[in-house]
């Protein structure tokens, strides 16, 4: 800590500085920080961004131990989420991360993952994966920043191509006391008479008990649509899991995890949209969709069957970016990212807290030094977790 830092501090005291030399002041401050109680220091660290936390880990053995063993609260979510992507075909040796604070791209080795996987979603700073080398669904979780990986147990009913939903721990919700839940709905299973049949059941994985449980059923027609026309992306909002069908005319499937009731919600411009994706924005369910003529809108669900337009993508950005079903979208409270492949760049609509409004920005695609061009990717948004994950 240099003299300029001391002078810029709001607590700078000329009398104190005259009594002690700057060197003595630095020693006093160093000892103060190095002797802070473990639990207090871990709380301070939990509010650092991933960049600052990485620097803190390298200061001394005490700090490194603290950042390694402490379980972080939700302070990291005060910082902007990062965009993480993996190749859609084959495992590859890297995942690709955009640091939203430093506005930079990075390649992170994922050679610790033992098999080829596909991104499903993020859960409290970790990543849910679907194995691609097996017909029957098997899931796993990993933390690419701490190089941790673990298979989830096999389901009670083996099934292929079901819809997957994620429920994260939320302090404002009474549904969970800790951890997360993964829901698997529909899919194809083995029929008792031989062959395959649509599976009209729902299973739930509880990360606390580390077990799967059959928690409900559904109409067979819902099982068919969840299996054939619904991708794995889901949104959990206000106690309800949502999926959008992947073909025109688009519809939204819903499941209330409290009442175990299924429902269906119509989609605005359902037969004209070239793509449609559900995301969560500040606790609300949002639909992002665009047409082939560059009309690109964002709707918010107000009531069960009522949507309202809350934003339109600026025409220049929309024309630069839109191009049919190759357009993808991911969202998290505070930001919505629109992307295609790694080299094409991204449109971002994010909340600027200091300005009190949301703004549009363009992010250039992966930099040339990555040696990847137009790589087909699947992406998600997460708050990086440098603390060892408790799977």
Q: Give the number of other CB atoms < 10 A from CB of residue 39.
A: 9
Residues of the chain below pLDDT 50: 1-12, 14-17, 73, 172-177, 324
Place of tokens 């688009």: 250
Say how far apart CA 288 and CA 296 lie, in whole Å.
Answer: 8
Confidence at residue 144, expressed as pLDDT on a 0 to 100 scale: 93
The per-residue pLDDT for 170 is 56
* Per-residue pLDDT, 192: 82
CA-to-CA distance for 270 and 52, rounded, in angstroms?
A: 45
Measuring CA to CA, how many Å separate 315 from each of 116, 290, 350? Answer: 38, 11, 17
Is residue 381 within 8 A of residue 331, CB to CB? The reply is yes
- What predicted TM-score, i.e. pTM, was given to this entire model? 0.84
Contact (Cβ atoms closer than 8 angstroms) between residue 23 and residue 3: no
Q: How far apart are the first and last CA of the chain?
A: 38
- Compute the C-alpha angle 112/183/138, nearest 5°: 40
Following DSSP, what letter does each residue of 79-146 receive, concatenated?
SPPEEEEEESSS--SEEEEEETTTTEEEEEE-TTS-S-EEEEEEETTEEEEEESS-SS--EEEEETTT
Is residue 296 within 8 Å of 276, Cβ to Cβ?
no
What does the pLDDT look like over 304-341, one tens digit per residue? Answer: 889 999 999 888 787 776 654 578 899 998 899 999 88
Rounded to whole angstroms, the Cα distance separating 166 from 120 reads 9
For 155, counting Cβ atoms within 10 Å of its Cβ (0-12 exposed, 13-18 middle, 19+ buried), the class is: buried
pLDDT score of 175: 45
pLDDT value of position 176: 43
- Pairs from 1-7 (Cβ < 8 Å, separation ≥ 24): 1/25, 1/26, 1/29
CA distances from 362 to 16, 121, 277, 284, 311 (A): 49, 23, 19, 24, 16
CA 121-44-388 angle, 5° bins: 40
d(CA 179, CA 313) in angstroms, rounded, equals: 36
């Amino acid at each position: 800590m240099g003299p300029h830092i001391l002078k810029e501090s709001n607590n700078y005291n000329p009398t104190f500085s005259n009594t002690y030399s700057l060197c003595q002041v630095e020693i006093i401050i160093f000892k103060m920080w190095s002797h802070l109680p473990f639990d207090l220091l871990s709380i301070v660290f939990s509010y650092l961004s991933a960049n600052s936390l990485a620097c803190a880990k390298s200061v001394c053995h005490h700090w490194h131990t603290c950042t390694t063993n402490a379980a972080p609260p939700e302070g990291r979510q005060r910082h902007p989420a990062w965009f993480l992507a993996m190749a859609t075909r084959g495992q590859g040796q890297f995942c690709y991360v955009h640091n939203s604070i430093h506005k930079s791209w990075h390649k992170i080795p994922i050679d610790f993952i033992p098999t080829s996987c596909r991104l499903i979603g993020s859960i409290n700073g970790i990543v849910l994966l679907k194995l691609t080398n097996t017909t029957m669904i098997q899931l796993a979780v990993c933390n690419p920043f701490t190089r941790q990986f673990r298979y989830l147990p096999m389901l009670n009913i083996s099934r292929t191509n079901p819809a997957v939903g994620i429920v994260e721990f939320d302090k404002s919700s009474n549904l969970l006391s800790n951890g997360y839940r993964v829901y698997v709905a529909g899919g194809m299973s083995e029929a008792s008479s031989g062959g395959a049949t649509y599976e009209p059941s729902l299973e739930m994985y509880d990360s606390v008990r580390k077990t799967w449980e059959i928690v409900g059923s559904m109409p067979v027609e819902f099982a068919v649509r969840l299996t054939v026309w619904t991708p794995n992306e889901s949104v959990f909002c206000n106690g309800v899991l949502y999926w959008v069908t992947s073909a025109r005319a688009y519809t939204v499937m819903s499941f209330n995890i409290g009442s175990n009731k299924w429902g269906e919600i119509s989609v605005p411009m359902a037969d004209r949209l070239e793509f449609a994706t559900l995301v969560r924005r500040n606790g609300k369910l949002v639909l992002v969709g665009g047409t082939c003529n560059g009309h690109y809108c964002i709707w918010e669900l107000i009531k069960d069957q009522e949507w309202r337009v809350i934003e339109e993508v600026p025409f220049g950005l929309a024309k630069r970016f839109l191009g049919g079903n190759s357009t993808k979208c991911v969202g998290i409270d505070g930001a919505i990212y629109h992307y295609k492949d790694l080299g094409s760049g991204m449109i971002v609509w994010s909340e600027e807290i200091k300005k009190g409004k949301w703004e549009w920005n363009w992010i250039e695609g992966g930099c040339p030094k990555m040696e990847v061009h137009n790589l087909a990717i699947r992406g998600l948004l997460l708050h990086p977790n440098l603390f060892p994950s408790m799977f």
